[in-house]
Amino acid sequence: MESFPGTFTAMPDKDPDVIVIGAGPNGLVAGCMLAKRGFRVLVLEANPRRPGGALSSEEATLPGFTHDVGAAFFPFATASPAFRELGLEGHGVTWAHARYESCHPAPDGTFATISRDTDRDASLFGSAKDGDAWRKLASWHRAIEPRFYRLLLGTFPSFAPVFALGPAHLLRLARIFTTSARGFSERFFESAAARRVVPGLGLHADVGPEDRFGAALGYVLGLGATTGGYPVSVGGAQRITNALVRILEAHGGKLRLGARVAKVAVSERRIAGVTLDDGEEIKVRGAVVADTGATSLLLDLIGKRHLPGGIARRLSRFEQGWGTFKVDWALSAAVPWGVEAARESAVVHAGDSVDDLVKFTREVRQGRLPEHPYLVIGQQSLADPSRAPPGNHTLYAYTHVPPSIEGGWETHRESFTDRLEARIEELAPGFRSCVLGRRSVTPDDLQTMDANLVGGDIGGGSNAWNHQLLFRPIFPYFRYRMPVRGLYLCSSYAHPGAGVHGMCGYNAAAVVARDLG
């Protein structure tokens, strides 16, 4: 396992041009891009041991077993303009793939599988007819993907990518994106196995199968898997963070650990610097760029008195996404899935049917622990054997839950972990006999680890349609500039939102660079 080297950077001898609050992937990307442009950049990270936020790895269960703390699979690894420009592969990052990207099995033995080779593997997508429909969709997506990603990931609004796509493709995308995930699946597919794929992928965030405009997220994750796939970072997600730190420092940027920002100073309606929780004051010449939650930045670090009328009130009602409950396992053998294709899939999604996913969504929204939890299950060690001792494997799974629960999470930690294990056992009889060790992570644990993960929300706030585009994080502050001059938001709470693509930081850095001349 590659850990963070633990370097400590001394304060620069001059005030920085830009201070970045938070060394998550977006904060580091913003810092790298601004340092490349010649600005003096100082990145302040509250964690005293490592940068990266949820983009990290550790031996969470037993010695020799490397588990990703948060993000583990990277659909935008090669498609992200930020990662392409920074050249992560030249700084220690190697990507690895399993044979299949995603498998969606059910206890009745039916399944659908997503592969980067749709000509070879479309027959595994529920039925022959559905496989043909999926192959045609994938072929169309592959043809438009570079133009589509420029539209999806760039600063909103951006008209050049719209014109590049053309009216016919835009109309077809609009027809898909304006329907629910269930409506999309019923329109395109006939088998229950194929119909649960896109709704299941939408539940990576708080987007239910019957939600308005809900097909968009499932489409992006599903069709994107047929091109870039779901690769893992060999050695663990920490290597991505370490590469970003190397790039930052290679261009003169500085990273300081154990530096928690308590207040952002405002003078004459403009950013003046920051104050750390130990009282130290750091002045800034140009801008403060925050890889933080939107409400935390504006209500806590800035304060209501510096905000325009009504913004504080609206922020107090800001809608976070669902909580997340995650389990890591150390295994003596690979998971004995009943469906053969699942044994070679990077990710396995447990959701028996669209109705099963609808019930799960309803339970979480009602504040109840789901009886039959939907699971995203990651098999990193299939693609990267270095994650475990020879012959052994790692596994992780997460599901969505209410951010808080009656009795507190410690009351439910072990019993709910058992429920997740039982869910996997349904699909892989004998799984429990392979478990050598396990660790569960509650929403409270996630927020303690990373203050941005409020209530275990891993999506940077709700990902419902009314929290996207010009509503992200709050209208009219959707183009990274915040209500105080010189203050910018670069976290996943800004467009284009959740996912390790670095584009929130990349886009914010471009705006900062223009504003600072």
Q: Which residues contact 144 (CB under 8 A, 6 or more apart)?
A: 165, 169
Cβ 233 vs Cβ 93: under 8 Å? yes
Alpha-carbon distance 366 to 389, whole Å? 42
pLDDT, residue 430, reads: 98
pLDDT, residue 397, reads: 98
pLDDT, residue 7, reads: 53
CA atoms within 13 A on the CB side of 138: 25
**Three-state SS for 468?**
coil
pLDDT, residue 98, reads: 97
- The secondary structure of 489-513 as a DSSP string is E-STTSTT-SSSS-HHHHHHHHHHH
* Topology of the domain covering 18-55+237-318+461-516: FAD/NAD(P)-binding domain (3.50.50)
pLDDT, residue 6, reads: 60
Q: How many CB atoms lie within 10 A of CB 343?
A: 19
Digit-by-digit pLDDT tens for the chain (517 residues) are 677 676 545 445 579 999 999 999 999 999 999 999 999 999 999 999 999 999 999 999 999 999 999 999 999 999 999 999 999 999 999 999 999 999 999 999 999 999 999 988 888 999 999 999 999 999 999 999 999 999 999 998 888 888 899 999 999 999 999 999 999 999 999 999 999 999 999 999 999 999 999 999 999 999 999 999 999 999 999 999 999 999 999 999 999 999 999 999 999 889 999 999 999 999 999 999 999 999 999 999 999 999 988 898 899 889 999 999 999 999 999 999 999 999 999 999 999 999 999 999 999 999 999 999 999 999 999 999 999 999 999 999 999 999 999 999 999 999 999 999 999 999 999 999 999 999 999 999 999 999 999 999 999 999 988 888 888 999 998 999 999 999 999 999 999 999 999 999 999 999 999 999 8
pLDDT in tens, 382-419: 999 999 999 999 999 999 999 999 999 999 999 999 99
Cβ 361 vs Cβ 322: under 8 Å? no
pLDDT, residue 8, reads: 45
301-305 contacts at long range (C-beta below 8 A, 24 or more positions apart): 301/21, 301/261, 301/262, 301/263, 301/264, 302/264, 302/266, 302/482, 302/483, 302/484, 302/487, 303/263
Alpha-carbon distance 61 to 151, whole Å? 41
The domain segmentation of the chain, as residue ranges, is: 18-55+237-318+461-516, 95-233+322-449
Alpha-carbon distance 187 to 133, whole Å? 11
pLDDT in tens, 112-121: 999 999 988 8
- The secondary structure of 55-100 as a DSSP string is S-EE--SSTT--EESS----TTTTT-HHHHHHTGGGGT--EE--SE
Q: Which residues contact 291 (CB under 8 A, 6 or more apart)?
A: 20, 21, 22, 23, 24, 26, 27, 30, 53, 452, 490, 491, 505
pLDDT in tens, 471-498: 899 999 899 999 999 999 999 999 999 9
| Nearest CA-CA partner of 272 in 26, 15, 509, 490 | 15
Residue type, 78: T
Cβ 281 vs Cβ 294: under 8 Å? no
**95-233+322-449 under CATH 1.10.375, yes or no:** no
